[in-house]
Amino acid sequence: MAVLLSLATVVTVRAGYKEEIGLTALLQELGAAAPTGTNVTVSQVEILNGGGYVADTSDPELIGKTFNLKSGASGVSYHANSVARYFYGTSTGVAPAVRTIDAYEAGNFLGAGFLNAGNPLLAPAVEARRIQNHSWGGSSSSAQEINRRLDFTIKRDGFVAVIGLNNGSGTTVPDLLAHSYNGISVGVPSGEHSRGGTLFDTAGRIKPEIVAPSADYSVSYSAAVVSGAAALLLQTADQDSALGNARTNSEVIKALLMAGAVKSIFPTWTRTTNQPLDAVYGAGQLNIYNSYKILTAGKQPASSTNTVGTKGWDFATTAGTSASTNYFFDVPVGHALSNVSVIVTWNRNVYDASPGPMFDPQVVFANLDLRLYTATNFTPVNLLDASVSTLDNVEHIHVTNPLAGGRYAMQVSWDLASHDYALAWSGTLVALPPPVLSVARSNDAVVVSWPLTAAGFTLQAATNLNGSVTWTSVPPPYQTNTDNYFIPVPEPTEQKYYRLQAP
């Protein structure tokens, strides 16, 4: 028996949300080349509301859309209509070019319409659409089976499932379908959503994964906003063969959305080594501009001989057990890398333990960890941060202090072989002001010092600045204190000039 409820009432779309999620900036930068959800097909699951479960096809925002009624004849649901406007409305939606929508009534979706929950003879139906939006919640005595069936279909069919939490600041995560591993659970920036750890099928996993703004900050419409953002990323991946893994693997889209999320608007946002996400805001607020930039930075594999960029992603399969792999990157001298965000996520493997006459969903859960090191050449050296939850299928590192110039390594480790994962990372390179040299007399020497932020620079000296100047290196080793590099040099018998030379 399932008890189902919608997550909000009908509202007017709030225009400002597009700016808040970085969509306005993306549209302004890309113009006509901006993704709009073209050729991305979706499913929208709703409970009965006002005598129906489908949006109003006469709404000017939805003209030209094709709705396939998967759960039989239906009247208009104004809740479904508001969700549709945020998801794919012609002028109000995130992904206005989405044209084909499979519409389901939630009870039918759980049962004979799709998941076939409660029927041990049938596996779930195959999802031909790219995104499922679930702006509803509920409870059921069969919740574990239902959530496992959803995870099974996500793993098997590769679609993105976006799931709204309950409205209100309760501490109980809804049974359906937010307890799934492989979906993306959504809250609102106000924090007025159910939050905290899951209650079953491994208790204590953090929900939500991400938050997004919408009208009155209602979860139903925030979920639709995240679904629209996923559609933009999928279209972008469709248009570039080099981004192919993002087209068919939901883990990549999930990692991109979470790695691009913004934390700065939440003063209390926090994570720990063992808790990868904030208990209220998850990875932070959706920012499609950031996620788009991470996606288009390209797929960049781990390597022991090559570096990756300061933005990018990868989709890979673990090799061997109790092993690891490294992604090395450089922060150029004279720069710092701020807003560093790294996400690794992977799907729980739900499989049919008795294929044939019965469907028996069983699980294999890999445990992956994420670490950030300083590095020398292609060897990790000093551990800076780690995310090592044993519960969640996401690990997250967010560096609050900018990384200085030098080499670093993102390390992914695992305990099971042949398990797919997606890694996404982002940082903002900031040029530092030129380092200022300081010269002081000390006994029979001159002490030349410069800030520690100028790591990697070489000190040079010249006797004049006229004509063709000859600069001579003043060789290391340089000494350090808490603020500066410094080197005592013999007191010159003639005038000398000093400078710092970048490598």
Examine residue 177 and say whether the peptide bond preceding it is cis (omega within 30 degrees of 0). Answer: yes
**Using N-to-C axis directions, what is the helix angle for 288-296 and 23-30, rounded to 10°?**
50
Q: How far apart are CA 459 and CA 441, in angstroms?
A: 17
pLDDT tens figures, 151-208: 999 999 999 999 999 998 888 888 999 999 999 999 999 999 998 889 999 999 999 9
Q: How far apart are CA 27 and CA 287, in angstroms?
A: 13
Residue-averaged pLDDT of the chain: 93
Least confident of 11-15, 101-105, 113-117, 325-329: 11-15
Checking if the pLDDT of 10 tops 70, the result is: no
Checking if the pLDDT of 150 tops 70, the result is: yes
Q: How far apart are CA 49 and CA 18, in angstroms?
A: 27
Least confident of 160-164, 316-320, 350-354: 350-354
Checking if the pLDDT of 8 tops 60, the result is: no
Q: What's the rounded mean pLDDT across residues 41-63?
A: 95
On whether the CB atoms of residues 313 and 301 are closer than 8 A, the answer is no
Checking if the pLDDT of 73 tops 50, the result is: yes
Checking if the pLDDT of 6 tops 60, the result is: no
pLDDT at 216: 65
Q: How confident is the model at residue 434 (pLDDT cuts 50, 70, 90)?
A: confident
Q: Which residues pair with 461 in a beta bridge?
A: 472, 498
Q: Which residue has the higher pLDDT, 29 or 3?
A: 29
Q: How confident is the model at residue 13 (pLDDT cuts 50, 70, 90)?
A: low
Least confident of 283-287, 408-412, 443-447: 443-447
Q: How confident is the model at residue 50 (pLDDT cuts 50, 70, 90)?
A: confident
pLDDT tens figures, 448-464: 998 887 777 889 999 88
In the chain the domains, ranked by start, together with CATH numbers, are 2-6+35-245 (3.40.50.200), 438-501 (2.60.40)
* For the chain, percent of residues with pLDDT exceeding 70: 97
Q: How far apart are CA 302 and CA 366, in angstroms?
A: 19
* Residue 150 in tokens: 């959803």
pLDDT at 455: 77
Checking if the pLDDT of 1 tops 50, the result is: no
Q: What is the 3-state secondary structure (H, E, C) of 197-230?
A: ECCCCCCCCEECCEECCCHHHCHHHHHHHHHHHH
Checking if the pLDDT of 296 tops 90, the result is: yes
pLDDT at 501: 86
Q: What's the rounded mean pLDDT across residues 378-389?
A: 98
